[in-house]
């Protein structure tokens, strides 16, 4: 197994873990960790898809990762204003 495949598997595990923890109500969708796991998973899957030019996977995971980053930024900004 090559390094990019290992990275891809780690990303897939991060996605599934985020969804599992959300479904079990251990995490909530307004928590940084949930979005961090999704963003990390997206980055890993993009890395996995780049060498084989898997453009649909690259596109969807880029968008998924950007959604995660925007969500994390919003959570941090919201937390700054709540005292």
Query: pLDDT tens for residues 2-41?
Result: 999 999 999 999 999 999 999 999 999 999 999 999 999 9
Beta carbons of 39 and 15 less than 8 angstroms apart: no
Residue 83 banded pLDDT, cuts 50, 70, 90: low
Specify whether the CB–CB gap between 8 and 45 falls below 8 A.
yes
- Rounded to two decimals, the pTM is 0.90
pLDDT score of 73:
95
Q: What does the domain layout of the chain look like in residue ranges?
A: 3-81
| Average pLDDT of the chain, as a whole number | 95
Cite the DSSP H helix spans in 1-83: 3-23, 32-49, 55-81
Nearest to 30 by CA among 76, 80, 82: 76
- Give the Cβ contact number of residue 55 at 10 Å: 10
């Amino acid at each position: 197994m090559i390094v990019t495949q290992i990275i891809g598997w780690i990303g897939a595990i991060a996605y599934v873990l985020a969804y599992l923890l959300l479904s079990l109500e251990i995490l909530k969708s307004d928590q940084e960790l949930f979005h961090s796991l999704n963003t990390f998973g997206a980055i890993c899957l993009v890395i996995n898809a780049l060498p084989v030019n898997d453009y649909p996977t690259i596109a969807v995971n880029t968008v998924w990762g950007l959604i995660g980053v925007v969500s994390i930024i919003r959570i941090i900004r919201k937390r700054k204003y709540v005292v």
